[in-house]
Structure 1
């Protein structure tokens, strides 16, 4: 290697996701010379194949449902809604492109940032190769995200992933979804509402196995009420091409071999970090058993000066956790060096309709702490606002540490749940006693006004 051919930077950022882009801009503001490497579209998963496009589809599916549900609210609909997936996709593409353009403009406006297109691989602890270019820095930040995990047995069939399903311009007649977790369930309801026949196959005995049993059961009930067929406990799943052009999936359940077939197949069996694409072994980087970069509470890997942010560090698989990684990194570099991963309270949403918002621990996780717990759960059917909207499915629940009076976890599965969970999350970050929320006066009529009532129902959790 000729040293003169090496391009030296103050920092190299690999990946322009929800941590990489703001970090590049923050470093540039401090007059760092930054190389930002991206092998695909700007914006990462959130902008291109995650939050922005999927929630646009959720909104379209919700509109279709609202038309179909209108007679229940006294509104007569003379004709069935006509679904135009090309128009839905066009709207989604417009939102995605607007986000990309905004990111590109912000990055191009900074003379400190060099945008480099291509796949980066490590040469050693301070150098990476992108095409024929060799970049060098004592500070390297990885924000490379994750990709769909494809299980063995589906190599010979034409399957869709969360990325390719967003490129369809015709509604699938019969959609099979392998994987009953967050991504799979969101697409299940979306395409059922848009007119597909949908079957979900899940290897485990319950959907979204991370959630508590009662939450999983309610989610399944919501989907089945809309006509989604759910099959749990489906083992030994394999894809099978049919002569008719359809796609079959074989599986073992209840001691019998079974087979179903459809026109389209979506694989939604989890995500794989893109860490392996970087040839991390060349830099001596350590990965855990699931392929994530091992980081400390300050996001630094086992190699000094190399950091992992976002999905590839296994500390969160969401846009908000990725952006928080940027905030931690910014504070560690230029701030008070006080922010760490230890400050973060896990929170996320499942965007079926009605949505699930979760903050902190599940009930199962709370029991494992050995703390003295208080617990309450109330049905959405007890809320005036939910009744008035005609959307009473789901429940709200909260877990409290009886000794400290701190809220340990909460879940809102019901109309507005993705927004309402923020009230609990704010109380948790503020370390507010649950008694303060009991005495709060919430606006009527809202779903949030159930929170004080819910907290009044707290009782010691039976062992």
Structure 2
């Protein structure tokens, strides 16, 4: 006998639980199905635990630089077990809070288990069958593992397994040169490990402009991280002792001998074991669920939110997906995915805040544009804090005077980028910032000066 609900939410990540809250507040009965951990990637393996670790690593880094500020300290040591305990406490508090909210939500039923479609609006969870006219997929994603010879022979880590480490690696080798890889690389270097980053491509953070990639590399190598690029022929050989390995970046290259290996080369959606074919839900060649501008799939009454739809792999994009779905369903407010401005941050220290198009993307589009760049050494607040690495860059449409994109690599970059993002979303001209008086001394105050120095993009 099937249990009937007004709606079924599969996955309790960042979009599912708040949607359940809106639906139950509207008088609907909702089943929330979670096969593993409530909170999804962000709470359990992503933003919450990793940024907690980043904070510990930053504290160790600042402590080691105390003499630069006229402060005397003894030897700075890092107790990894205590760092992990702090991370676990914060992460578990967050997860338990979300679980308590869902379990106490009137009209909602939290069901543990793996969901699979039996029909377009019928779901099986173990021995139980559930039906609903509306089904929302929020199933997230997981790490991909590249086909590297010998990799399967070693006990490599992903972004999940490395969070369980309570010992300091002697030499952490990080496979990958993008956001997750670089955050862990800098973090563990600051904890005291030797760290090497191995990237298949010619530069780090390939989606960024070349000057941004180069500055990021300089920041990391300046802290003693070894960066190996153009690793086009990687292979791994396990040591005969059973502990450690050699990673060869390419044929003829010297081996990189490591104690721990982190694989951070990308992610894939958790859509391969949902029975989507049975339901008739279409996916693309990478397994992402195809949706329209309001996140509806090709099957009436089925939506896809979060990492599984390929429209953004961040907590903020997932939560915005919820807001778009709820606005269209419950508020008679026709919001669309295409209305939002792409934005994200890389949480190395200093962080990179990004919004909109890169300069490379603007140049390839062929439109007339203006660009401006200013180093963080010109920011009084950064100088006062002793954190002058990085720069600000913005690109503007020469005809509409609207901001097309920006990159802020430097102290507070993840916060300052919001000033630019808000103006972009409002479709205001760049003068909305350049003629605004900002507080001194702040990092944000350089943004008007930056925009006053626009020059034609060549």
Which TM bucket (shorter chain)?
over 0.9
Residues 1:200 and 2:197 are matched in the alignment = yes
Q: CA RMSD in A?
A: 1.1
Aligned to 1:122: 117
Aligned to 1:39: 35
Give the C-alpha shift of residue 247 in structure 1.
Answer: 3.1
Alignment of 1:357-376 (within 5 A): 357-376=353-372
Give, in whole Å, the separation in 2 of the partners of 1:443 and 1:237.
Answer: 50
* SS of residue matched to 2:100: helix
Distance change in 2, residues 1:69/1:319 (3 Å)? same
Q: Which of 245, 248, 253 is matched with 1:248 structurally?
A: 245
Aligned to 2:258: 262
* SS of residue matched to 2:51: helix
List gaps (5 residues or longer) in structure 1: none
Give, in whole Å, the separation in 2 of the partners of 1:257 and 1:455.
Answer: 46
Residues 1:333 and 2:329 are matched in the alignment = yes
Give the C-alpha shift of residue 239 in structure 1.
Answer: 2.7
- Between stretches 189-198 and 105-114, larger displacement belongs to 105-114
Q: Which of 406, 411, 414 is matched with 2:410 structurally?
A: 414
Q: Which of 281, 289, 293 is matched with 2:289 structurally?
A: 293
Distance change in 2, residues 1:276/1:126 (3 Å)? same
Deviating 4+ runs (over 3 angstroms): 249-253
* Kept after mapping to 2: 8 A contact 1:246/1:262: no
Alignment of 1:39-438 (within 5 A): 39-77=35-73, 79-153=74-148, 154-253=151-250, 256-438=252-434
* SS of residue matched to 1:106: helix
How many corresponding residue pairs? 456
List gaps (5 residues or longer) in structure 2: none
Give, in whole Å, the separation in 2 of the partners of 1:23 and 1:135.
Answer: 18
Give, in whole Å, the separation in 2 of the partners of 1:238 and 1:249.
Answer: 8
Give, in whole Å, the separation in 2 of the partners of 1:257 and 1:280.
Answer: 45
- Between stretches 352-361 and 65-74, larger displacement belongs to 65-74
Give the C-alpha shift of residue 336 in structure 1.
Answer: 2.2
Give the C-alpha shift of residue 249 in structure 1.
Answer: 4.3
* Kept after mapping to 2: 8 A contact 1:11/1:137: yes
Give the C-alpha shift of residue 135 in structure 1.
Answer: 1.1
- Partner deviation per Cα, 1:92-112 (whole Å, 9 max, x = no partner): 111111111211221122231
Give, in whole Å, the separation in 2 of the partners of 1:48 and 1:380.
Answer: 34
Give, in whole Å, the separation in 2 of the partners of 1:221 and 1:139.
Answer: 50
Give, in whole Å, the separation in 2 of the partners of 1:226 and 1:244.
Answer: 31
Give the C-alpha shift of residue 439 in structure 1.
Answer: 1.2
- Between stretches 412-421 and 153-162, larger displacement belongs to 153-162
Aligned to 1:460: 456
- Partner deviation per Cα, 1:362-402 (whole Å, 9 max, x = no partner): 11111222221000001111111111111111000100001
Give, in whole Å, the separation in 2 of the partners of 1:85 and 1:67.
Answer: 16
- Partner deviation per Cα, 1:403-450 (whole Å, 9 max, x = no partner): 101001011000010001011001111222112211111111111111
Give, in whole Å, the separation in 1 of the partners of 2:264 and 2:299.
Answer: 33
Distance change in 2, residues 1:356/1:310 (3 Å)? same
- Between stretches 322-331 and 434-443, larger displacement belongs to 434-443
Distance change in 2, residues 1:301/1:107 (3 Å)? same
Aligned to 2:441: 445
